[in-house]
Amino acid sequence: MDTMKIGGYIQHLRKAAGLTQKELAEKLGVSFQAVSKWENGDALPDTGLLLALCDELNTTADKLLNGGSVLLKNRKLMRVEDVIIGFENMEDIGRYFGENCDFFTGMVEGINRKMNMDLLQYLRHRDTREVLWAEVLIQGILSGRTVDMDEVEANFTNKKMIAEIKKYMDKTVDCL
């Protein structure tokens, strides 16, 4: 295990979460010096803290213990076209089965509850559709996938969404 790489990754994630060493330490019930030692590569987190640390830093134990490199190895390309087609297929379910069909309403209600949103409202307008597409792409990036930024730029009109996706792509590249 490369303790320096792991430490750098912990520091990167802590800063990305907007936490100081002291704040992270308080959340985990350790001293800020312990967090400092992890980040400097002088020590590794105790195994009893590993899952809590991963929860606080929004990562997994395998990614953490590999210094973030698992996130970047063998990254599968996520195609924007597939995301768009996926949302079109969701709408088709409502058209084919009827918007009052239990299957369609259950799907929509589940997404609305999980995402705290009104899916059908978002699907009605191009700008808000792009927000949905961007959310799916960003979730994919955070779970280890990659996107072709040229394809993003070709399919998105909303410059803010393009910039947001690029920001997440850049963050994952920074983990090297």
Output phi, psi for 96, to 5 deg.
-75, -40
| pLDDT of 68 over the 80 cut | no
Q: Average pLDDT of 33-45?
A: 95
Q: What is the pTM of this model?
A: 0.56
Give CATH 1.10.260.40 domain extents, the chain. 3-71
Is 3-71 a CATH 3.40.50.300 domain? Answer: no
pLDDT confidence tier of residue 139, bands split at 50, 70 and 90: very high
56-70, 73-87, 126-140: which range is least confident on average?
56-70
117-149: b (≥16 Cβ within 10 Å) or e: eebeebbeeeeebbebbbbbbbebbeebebbee
